[in-house]
Amino acid sequence: MRRIVFVLVAVVVLPGLIASIVGGIGHAAQDAAPVFVKKIPPGYRDWKVVSVAHEAGELNDIRAVLGNDIAIKAYREGKLPFPEGAIVGRIAWSYVASEENNKIFGREQSFVAGSATDTYLQFMVKDSKKYAATGGWGYSSFDQDGKPSDEAAMTSCFPCHQAIKGRDFVFSRYTP
Amino acid sequence: MRRIVFVLVAVVVLPGLIASIVGGIGHAAQDAAPVFVKKIPPGYRDWKVVSVAHEAGELNDIRAVLGNDIAIKAYREGKLPFPEGAIVGRIAWSYVASEENNKIFGREQSFVAGSATDTYLQFMVKDSKKYAATGGWGYSSFDQDGKPSDEAAMTSCFPCHQAIKGRDFVFSRYTP
């Protein structure tokens, strides 16, 4: 009985597995330099704050930049380059005037975070080997429904980040 | 030898301790409704993000609103009033244009967090009994050196927060 099960597993599972490995090799060969990450890192909303920012103009968002524990430790210790496994994330919400706050304060001064934007979540994942072609960082971007941006859009990440190679390609500074 | 040490401790430490307790009682009697908190909650910089905001005008800051675990849990579950022990904090940095980012992006659009402001840290601490006179929240504010604001300045907290009694006196909404 055990032998039959083993044979069945071998017949049913192995071809798929082999196809998958071969497919993987084929994909890797075609696309020798993966630069995009397609999964949202679990638990990112619980990460610690690196800093905050406002992008005006077309983006018109207000954002929190967060880091996983590896990234935060490196930031706080001022260590560059960031170690393997570091992830820097940012959440972008629409930038909206708070009528509620302004009414209470008696001044037009308060701008708050509204709904998730079209580039709601972005992450940089440090893996020096896997993402060697883009400075050791894999880039990702997700809309308000968690859908990753298409690869064409993602090619615009590294050219800008490359300009700050001296800070290991990371724009955001840690603000204590 | 042990007895001598004990006696010495009793002589040196106890009068100070008693003075301190009596002083505390005297202070409580004078000031029956404490509304101000004079200590920065330990570990606040590791707290999770509630939201972010920009206050223009005289404040001219960009800020992260954080919560301790009790506050974050209540926010995420939409529970009001906030439970005992909840603390909502906010860090305010000066609001500055990032020449570095603007140069790289080729647009004047990027505003980032600069140095700590004169009201760098503020906290609301929930203790319904202790701070009954101010909606169950004790307020605190600290400058960039960790010095608490004087009590005269602190009397301005509750009158504004009172306007949002319906959300348990807390301005900031949680943005997922």
- Quick: pLDDT tens for B45-74: 999 999 999 999 999 999 999 999 999 999
**How many other C-beta atoms can be found within 10 angstroms of the C-beta atom of residue A82?**
24
Give me the percent of chain B exceeding a pLDDT of 70. Answer: 81
Task: Please give the structure tokens belonging to residue A19.
Answer: 């196809």
Q: Do B64 and A66 touch (CB under 8 A)?
A: no
pLDDT digits (tens, 9 = 90+) for B87-122: 999 999 999 999 999 999 999 999 999 999 999 999
Query: What pLDDT shows up at residue B32?
Result: 54
Task: Please give the structure tokens belonging to residue A134.
Answer: 């883009």
Rounded Cα–Cα distance for residues B5 and B10 (Å): 9
Q: Do A54 and B111 touch (CB under 8 A)?
A: yes
With CA atoms as reference, the chain B residue closest to A48 would be B46
SS3 A142: strand
Would the pLDDT of B3 be above 70?
no
Per DSSP, what are the bridge partners of residue B140? B123
With beta carbons under 8 A apart, name residues in chain B contacting A59: 109
* C-alpha gyration radius of chain A: 21
Would the pLDDT of B4 be above 60?
no
A59 touches chain B (CB under 8 A): yes
With CA atoms as reference, the chain B residue closest to A115 would be B175
Q: Do A64 and B66 touch (CB under 8 A)?
A: no
**More confident position, B42 or B5:** B42
ipTM: 0.82
